[in-house]
A and B are shown apart, each in its own frame.
Chain A
C-alpha cells in the first residue's frame, strides 16, 4: 500500500479575503466582520491588515476602534466560512479526488499518488499556493504523512513545509502542544505543568497521559505520529445528469441515431427515477468523427422522465443532424432538473391528470418544433385599461386571485391598434349618429355607454382618457368605439377598437 500523504491548507482570513475579492476598495484597509454577542458587537473575522495591527477574533468592536480609529466594521454573514470552505474544497478537486473540510478553517487534501503529476511535491504545493494567492486568499500549507502532523505544521510550523515520509515525529516535536488540536483547558493545564513542546510529551507512557488528561491527548498524539488511523469525511460532488454512448462504428443513418437516443434516454430516465427527479431541459450532443460537435436541445413544460415522450420531442429535431462520415459518440445531458416524486405523478393521475399530461406533452412538441413563444395562456389582471386587463400565464398550473370582468361587455375581436374613424355626434358625451370607417358609412341605430376608462397615471401612463361606446349599425354589426379626450378641450379623436360578436 502506498504511504498516505496529506496536505493541510489553512485559510487564515477566508471570509475577509472573500470580501476583498468582492470589493477591491477594501484592499489594504483594516476591517473586521462583527456580529452582536450578548449585547455587544464582537469581531468574528479580522482582515490580514487588521490582524497585523493587533485586532483578533473575539475582541469587542469598541475596543478595536479605540486601538485602530480607521477600522471599518462590516456585518458578518452567518455560515459564510462553511460555504466558502465547501466551495474551495470543490475547487480543489482538480488536484486530488479526495478532499475533506476540517472545520473551522482548513482543508485536507489526500495527495497520495497525485503530486507526481505536477513533477513532485514542492512543485505541487507551490502550484496550489500560487493559485490561491492569485485569487487573494491567505493560505498556509503543510504536507505530511498524517493529518495531525500536516495540520500542526500548517498552523504552528514553518509554512509552507513538506515533511518527508516517516519524519512526522521529528517534525512536530518542537511545536507547542496546542498543535495537537486539543481542547483549550487541556492546553492550559499542559502549559501550567511546564509542557511547552510536543517533544516533552513523547517519552511519557500512554497510560499516564490517559490517567492525567483523558483520552483525547493520547489519541491526538497517536494520530499525529501515525499510530492511530484518522478518517475525515470526504466531500461529495453531485454527478451531473449525463449519459455517454461511444459507438464502435460511426453512425450515419437516422435509425442508428434513434437507437442511440433511445438507449441514452432509458439510462438517464432510470437514473432520474431512482433519484426522484424529472428533467426540464435535455441536450443531445453528437460528436462527428471529423471533430465537429452537433447538438439539439429540448425543453418540457412539466418535469418529465418519460423516455417515450422525450424521444418524441427529440425526434422533431434530430433531422437537423448532418452525420456526413458518421458520429462516434453521443452524449445526453440534463442541465435543468426538478424534483418529481412518484407521489406527485400519482396525484396528477387522479382528476383530469391523464388529459393534462397529454396536453403538456402536446405543448412540449409544439414549442419543441416551432419555438416556445407561440403558446399563450392568459390570466385576468386587475386593470380596466383593455390592453392591460390580462397577463400571460407562465405555466399550466398557474392561477391568480384576480377574476375576469364579467359585468362589462368586452369585444370578441380586438384590433391590435385602434383605427381612426370620422363621426357625427349630436351632443358632446353622446354616442355618434354616424361614423365612417375605411370609407364606409355606418348609421348607428343602437348604442350603449359611455364607459369611461381613465389612464393609469400611477403606472406613469399619461394622455387623454377613453370614453367607450358599444354601437350597432343598421346591418346588425356591433362595434366598440371610443372617444379620446373631451369636447371641452379641443376636438377629440374617435377610434374603432373592436367588434362584438
Chain B
C-alpha cells in the first residue's frame, strides 16, 4: 500500500518536474483566475497556462466577433487593474466601445495597426519581450511554425500571455502553442420568456492543449463573467428573479 502511495506521489512529482522543465507555467506566482470555471480542468494542473501562446482560429466575420468578445472577457480577468494592453492587428475591424460590455476599458487598450504580416510579427515579439504589458493580443492570420516557435520562446522567457487570433488563415497549419481554441457564436442565452436577444453565448472548443485534455464547452457572458451553460439551470431561477 505504502509503496503504491509513494509511487503515485513519485509520478506526480515527476509530472510536475516535466512541466517545470517545459516551463510555460508560473511556478512562483499564484495560479491565475480566468473565470473559465470547469474549463480550466482541461489544462495541466487545472491551471490556465498564462505564460504561453494561445491560438484562436475563426473563419466567418460573425465568429471573429465572437472570438474577440471571448478574448476581451479573458483579458478582463487576466490583466491587472488599470493596466494597459496592446492589440496588434493586420486587419482591425474591432469597434472599441464594444469592449466596455466585457469589462475592459477601451481607453486602456492601445491598438497597433500594421498591415504587413512580417512587421506585425516583429511588433508582437517586441511587445512580448518588453515587459510593459501582461498580455498582448495579436490578430495575425498567417504564422509559420518557425515564427510561432520564436514567439513561444519569448513568451516563456518573459512570462507573458500571448493571444493570437487567426482570422481566415491561408492554411490552418500547426503552430507551436499551448492551446488552440475555436470560439463560435451560439444562440444567445435568454432568461425565461423575455423578448429580444439575451446574453452573448459561445461554443468554445479546445482543439489542442499541451499536456491537457481537449474538449468542447458552451459558455455565456453573464453579469461581467463567464457562465457555463450546463450549470445554468441551477442558478436559472435566481437569475430570472434578478433580471426581472
Question: Beyond A352-B83, A406-B100, A410-B98, is A415–B200 a contact (Cβ under 8 Å)?
Answer: no
- Note all chain A residues with C-beta closer than 8 A to B68: 412-413, 501
A479 CB within 8 Å of chain B: yes
What 0/1 readout, one digit per residue, does chain A (467-496) give for beta carbons within 8 Å of chain B? 000111001111100000000000000000
Question: Beyond A386-B95, A410-B98, A412-B65, is A359–B196 a contact (Cβ under 8 Å)?
Answer: no
C-alpha spacing A405/B190, complex, angstroms:
23
C-alpha spacing A410/B84, complex, angstroms:
22
B96 CB within 8 Å of chain A: yes
Do residues B109 and A377 form an inter-chain contact, with CB atoms below 8 A? Answer: yes
A362 CB within 8 Å of chain B: yes
Q: Give min CB distance, A398 to chain B, whole Å.
A: 9
Do residues A412 and B94 form an inter-chain contact, with CB atoms below 8 A? Answer: yes
A interface size (C-beta, 8 A): 52
Nearest CB in chain B to that of A408: its residue? B97
From residue 59 to 118 of chain B, which have CB atoms closer than 8 A to chain A?
Answer: 60-70, 72, 82-84, 93-102, 105-107, 109-114
What 0/1 readout, one digit per residue, does chain A (346-365) give for beta carbons within 8 Å of chain B? 00000010011011011101
Q: Give min CB distance, A175 to chain B, whole Å.
A: 72
Q: Which residue of A377, A446, A478 is within 8 Å of B110 (Cβ)?
A: A377
Query: Looking at chain B's contact residues, is the secondary structure mostly helix, strand, loop, or mixed?
Result: mixed
- Note all chain B residues with C-beta closer than 8 A to A293: none
Q: Give min CB distance, B170 to chain A, whole Å.
A: 21
Do residues B95 and A414 form an inter-chain contact, with CB atoms below 8 A? Answer: yes
C-alpha spacing A201/B43, complex, angstroms:
105
Do residues A479 and B62 form an inter-chain contact, with CB atoms below 8 A? Answer: yes
Nearest CB in chain A to that of B116: its residue? A370
Question: Beyond A411-B95, A413-B65, is A358–B130 a contact (Cβ under 8 Å)?
Answer: yes
B123 CB within 8 Å of chain A: yes
- Note all chain B residues with C-beta closer than 8 A to A406: 100-101
Q: Which residue of A375, A377, A475, A479 is within 8 Å of B107 (Cβ)?
A: A377
Binds A, one of B7-15, B142-150, B172-180, B181-189: B181-189
A96 CB within 8 Å of chain B: no
A447 CB within 8 Å of chain B: yes
What 0/1 readout, one digit per residue, does chain A (65-76) give for beta carbons within 8 Å of chain B? 000000000000
Do residues A478 and B83 form an inter-chain contact, with CB atoms below 8 A? Answer: no
Do residues A410 and B101 form an inter-chain contact, with CB atoms below 8 A? Answer: yes
B237 CB within 8 Å of chain A: no
Do residues A499 and B200 form an inter-chain contact, with CB atoms below 8 A? Answer: no
B206 CB within 8 Å of chain A: no
Q: Which residue of B67, B101, B123, B187 is within 8 Å of A409 (Cβ)?
A: B101
Question: Beyond A362-B132, A410-B101, A470-B197, is A378–B96 a contact (Cβ under 8 Å)?
Answer: yes
Do residues B190 and A415 form an inter-chain contact, with CB atoms below 8 A? Answer: no
Nearest CB in chain A to that of B105: its residue? A404
A389 CB within 8 Å of chain B: yes
Do residues B130 and A362 form an inter-chain contact, with CB atoms below 8 A? Answer: yes
Do residues A375 and B111 form an inter-chain contact, with CB atoms below 8 A? Answer: yes
- Note all chain B residues with C-beta closer than 8 A to A476: 184-188, 201, 203
B138 CB within 8 Å of chain A: no
- Note all chain B residues with C-beta closer than 8 A to A471: 197
B119 CB within 8 Å of chain A: yes
Q: Which residue of B65, B95, B101, B197 is within 8 Å of A446 (Cβ)?
A: B197
Nearest CB in chain B to that of A442: its residue? B62
What 0/1 readout, one digit per residue, does chain A (23-34) give for beta carbons within 8 Å of chain B? 000000000000
B19 CB within 8 Å of chain A: no
Nearest CB in chain B to that of A431: its residue? B196
- Note all chain A residues with C-beta closer than 8 A to B109: 377
- A sample of 28 inter-chain contacts (CB < 8 A) reads A352-B83, A358-B132, A359-B110, A362-B126, A362-B127, A369-B119, A369-B122, A370-B123, A376-B110, A376-B113, A377-B110, A379-B107, A389-B97, A406-B101, A410-B95, A413-B68, A413-B93, A445-B187, A470-B196, A470-B197, A472-B187, A476-B187, A476-B201, A477-B63, A478-B197, A499-B61, A500-B200, A501-B70
* Extra A-B contacts (18), CB below 8 Å, given A374-B112, A477-B60: A355-B83, A355-B132, A358-B131, A361-B132, A366-B112, A375-B112, A380-B106, A390-B96, A405-B100, A414-B93, A414-B95, A414-B98, A446-B188, A447-B196, A470-B197, A475-B185, A477-B63, A478-B188
Q: Which residues of A contact B (CB under 8 A)?
A: 352, 355-356, 358-359, 361-363, 365-366, 369-370, 374-380, 386, 389-390, 393, 396, 399, 404-406, 409-416, 445-448, 470-472, 475-479, 498-501
